[in-house]
Chains A and B, each alone.
Chain A
Amino acid sequence: MLKATNIHKSFGNKDVLLGLDVSVKEGEITCLIGPSGTGKTTLLRALGGLDMPDQGTLDIDGTLYTFSPTHKDTIPDPWPHITVVFQSLFLWPHLTLRENILLPARNRWDDFKAMETELDGLIASFEMAHFIDQYPNEASLGQRQRVAIARAIMVKPKYILMDEITSSLDIEQVYKILTRLEELKGRGIGILLITHQIGFAKRAADHIVFMDKGETTESGNASILTEPKTKRLKEFLSMVKMAH
């Protein structure tokens, strides 16, 4: 399990995270929802071992790392055991999309034949065949999103953290990715998804965390999206509904 407890983080004198809790279990999908600017990405970076929190505890598979203003544990590089798909994707521009996927994947597969087979499966299910040999700047945002997801899947992570990575996909593609994520769940991979697509969260999530202004406002299973208890989540859901 990947678990963050009481996470605090500020940038300068701007307090962004004010004691957040979130956890990602093996074989489960946790959805993180909330208005923009509330610190979702900041939290994801802390969970991903990229930016250390100012305060709080990270539990990576039972090993505890604590952070306080006076002491910060160092985390041994957790990647690609924990991997991240960023909102702005970060595909390497000088490599073809296929090579973007294969370069890190080769480190993780002993059997290259099996790796190619796995990739072929992903290419088919994400419908990437017609652009996979192009360069990132020749692909649309939706196409690059699928490649970035495939790149993360192909490094055989135990946890994948994804930051609004389906925003430019049509419903059909979102559904396909969802299907693939559910399959990953089946393989015991833990997934954290930041998303604005409530429908997606409803269908996919085992656990939902609604955060607002750096705090967990409400959390639970998918039922909190149909019967929100807090006023803030109610407001948020009705706003999201209006926007779609």
Chain B
Amino acid sequence: MSVLDILLKYYPAFLNGLEVTLQLSSIIWGLGLFLGTLLAVAGTKFKYWIGIPSRCFSFLLSGIPILVFLFWLHYPAQSMLNLVINPFYTAALTLTIVNIFAVADIVRSALIDFPQQYLTAAKVTGLTKKQTIFKIQLPLILRTTLPALLMLQVVMLHTTLFASLISVEEIFRVAQRINAQIYRPVEIYTALGLFFLAVSLPINGFALWLRAHFTRDISET
């Protein structure tokens, strides 16, 4: 059986797995980017209420393997709270939290390093606070952070595979299940590897291109 044969025979299962993976990733990406950015902005504004606590939590999180965090939220947390949550949502929640704090870290350092002169220019020309944030700060920060953020999102896509370990039927688990039936690890995992390469490399390549492009663009001559 070749890779093609396997795909032809099992494609509905693979498609289901792919769909779950993409759903999971979309939640993690969307919420992570949005809330992470918000957290970073709020953290610089409300330093004591949000900034410092969130950095402490982020520091704590950096010391816990994602898998342990995921399992901890899956078993101990739910049994303590007497809850049973669909593993899909547990995985989405865990990885979204990880993404939020990772995004916030990237955005926060960009905020701190933000060239003050652009804000001074916004001030003296009478831009409102809102305009300064949305028209000046965010676009410029996006340009400097986008490469790192994109690469992070690729890493987050890869971590969705951990969800298979709490029995979320995403693509890796589907692959494992099919492999258990037909025992074709070489073909199946090669196909899986190629799939992730095909998704990840363009994003990472784009990120590298952006980095080269915008770094030149923004430097003031």
CB of B120 within 8 A of CB of A50, answer yes
User: B4 interface residue, CB < 8 Å from A?
Assistant: no
- Chain B residue numbers with a CB within 8 Å of A104 are 122, 125-127
- Chain A residue numbers with a CB within 8 Å of B122 are 92, 104
User: B82 interface residue, CB < 8 Å from A?
Assistant: no
User: A48 interface residue, CB < 8 Å from B?
Assistant: yes
- Chain A residue numbers with a CB within 8 Å of B140 are 92-94
CB of B117 within 8 A of CB of A155, answer no
Interface residues on chain B, number (Cβ under 8 Å): 23
Q: Pick from B123, B126, B143, B219: contact of A94, CB below 8 A.
A: B143
Distance of A94 Cα from B176 Cα, bound (Å): 47
Distance of A107 Cα from B131 Cα, bound (Å): 10
Distance of A1 Cα from B219 Cα, bound (Å): 38
CB of A152 within 8 A of CB of B125, answer yes
User: A175 interface residue, CB < 8 Å from B?
Assistant: no
Interface size bucket, A side?
20 to 34
- Chain B residue numbers with a CB within 8 Å of A92 are 118, 121-122, 136, 140
Distance of A82 Cα from B125 Cα, bound (Å): 9
- Chain A residue numbers with a CB within 8 Å of B128 are 107
CB of B126 within 8 A of CB of A83, answer yes
A48 to chain B, nearest CB (A): 6
User: A177 interface residue, CB < 8 Å from B?
Assistant: no
Distance of A48 Cα from B126 Cα, bound (Å): 12
CB of A155 within 8 A of CB of B121, answer no
User: B177 interface residue, CB < 8 Å from A?
Assistant: no
CB of A155 within 8 A of CB of B219, answer no
- Chain B residue numbers with a CB within 8 Å of A79 are 123-126
User: B113 interface residue, CB < 8 Å from A?
Assistant: no
User: A103 interface residue, CB < 8 Å from B?
Assistant: yes
Residue of B nearest to A140 (CB): B221
Residue of A nearest to B217 (CB): A137
Q: A88-B117, A90-B118, A92-B140 are in contact. Are A48 and B124 (CB under 8 A)?
A: yes
A164 to chain B, nearest CB (A): 15
Q: Is the interface of A mostly helix, strand, loop or mixed?
A: loop
CB of B139 within 8 A of CB of A80, answer no
CB of A155 within 8 A of CB of B126, answer yes
B1 to chain A, nearest CB (A): 53
Interface bits B114-146 vs A (CB < 8 Å: 1, else 0): 000110111111111001000110011001000
Q: A86-B117, A91-B121 are in contact. Are A108 and B126 (CB under 8 A)?
A: yes
- Chain B residue numbers with a CB within 8 Å of A108 are 126
CB of B127 within 8 A of CB of A90, answer no
Q: Pick from B124, B139, B143: contact of A84, CB below 8 A.
A: B124
Residue of A nearest to B135 (CB): A103
- Most central of B124, B128, B139, B221 by chain A CB within 10 Å: B124
CB of B121 within 8 A of CB of A103, answer no
CB of A137 within 8 A of CB of B121, answer no
- Chain A residue numbers with a CB within 8 Å of B124 are 48, 50, 79-80, 82-84
B147 to chain A, nearest CB (A): 15
Distance of A93 Cα from B122 Cα, bound (Å): 13
- Chain B residue numbers with a CB within 8 Å of A141 are 221
B132 to chain A, nearest CB (A): 10
Residues of chain B from 44 to 101 with CB closer than 8 A to chain A in the complex: none
CB of A137 within 8 A of CB of B126, answer no
Distance of A91 Cα from B221 Cα, bound (Å): 11
Distance of A5 Cα from B135 Cα, bound (Å): 37
- Chain A residue numbers with a CB within 8 Å of B136 are 92
- Chain B residue numbers with a CB within 8 Å of A86 are 117, 120-121
B159 to chain A, nearest CB (A): 32
A85 to chain B, nearest CB (A): 9
Q: List 7 A-B contacts (CB under 8 A).
A: A93-B219, A94-B143, A108-B126, A137-B221, A151-B125, A155-B125, A155-B126
A-B complex: 5 closest residue pairs judged by Cβ atoms = A80-B126, A104-B125, A90-B121, A90-B117, A84-B124
Q: Please name 18 further chain A to chain B contacts, defined as beta carbons within 8 Å, in addition to the given A80-B125, A107-B127, sorted by A numbering.
A: A50-B123, A77-B123, A80-B124, A83-B125, A84-B124, A86-B117, A88-B220, A92-B121, A92-B122, A93-B140, A93-B220, A94-B218, A103-B125, A104-B125, A104-B126, A107-B126, A137-B219, A137-B221
B residues adjacent to A (C-beta < 8 A): 117-118, 120-128, 131, 135-136, 139-140, 143, 216-221
